[in-house]
Amino acid sequence: MDSAVAREQALDAAEELFYGRGIQSVGMDDIRGASGVSLKRLYQLFPAKEQLVEAYLERRDARWRTRLADFVQRREDPEERILAVFDWLEQWFGEDGFRGCAWINSYGELGATSERVTAQVRSHKRAFRAYVAQLVADAGLSGTLTGHLFLLAEGAMVTAGIARGTEPAREAREAARVLLRAG
């Protein structure tokens, strides 16, 4: 098995296990068992578990942001694109195995002890906020709405992760609609 294949298998297993069970409850031996990658190869690829967590978050970020942007771009009206963020969140919250925001969860587990994880989480959140800011600018709306919309989305993520339901996205969408009308 070449390194690229082994890396992808390890990351697939890490994503499933870290997201499903939590980072601290999953050991490298669990990743080995789920991925089929030997422990020796696993440590060659990721000399420390923290590096595997960092790579998992980085890869998940790219996929998450692409899925969101692809969904939002289907709307033609710039204000509808803003609301589509919340429609996408509702869809995501309803997926089998949804356990909340991987970055918020990771930060809650490791943010106080891992600079690498903290950097990944902050990078993801900055990128998401910048995406919302671009949608607001494209709609010709006041930039002050960016923070409000961002916090609505983030609050919906946290609440949905705890409540295990899609209602927070619908409630946040309605609040966003009110903000757009007022803004």
Domain map of the chain by residue range?
Answer: 1-47, 60-182
Give CA–CA dist 38/57, Å, rounded.
Answer: 22
What class, spelled out in words, does domain 60-182 have in CATH?
mainly alpha
Rg over alpha carbons for the chain, rounded to the nearest Å, is 18
The answer to whether the beta carbons of residues 87 and 75 sit under 8 Å apart is no
Give residue 111's pLDDT band: very low, low, confident or very high (50, 70, 90): confident
When the candidates are 1.10.10, 2.40.128, 1.10.287, 1.10.3470, the CATH number that belongs to 1-47 is: 1.10.10
pLDDT at 105 over 90: yes
Quote the DSSP letter at residue 37: -
Instruction: Encode pLDDT of 121-141 as tens digits.
Output: 999 999 999 999 999 999 999
pTM, full prediction: 0.93
For range 143-172, the mean pLDDT: 97
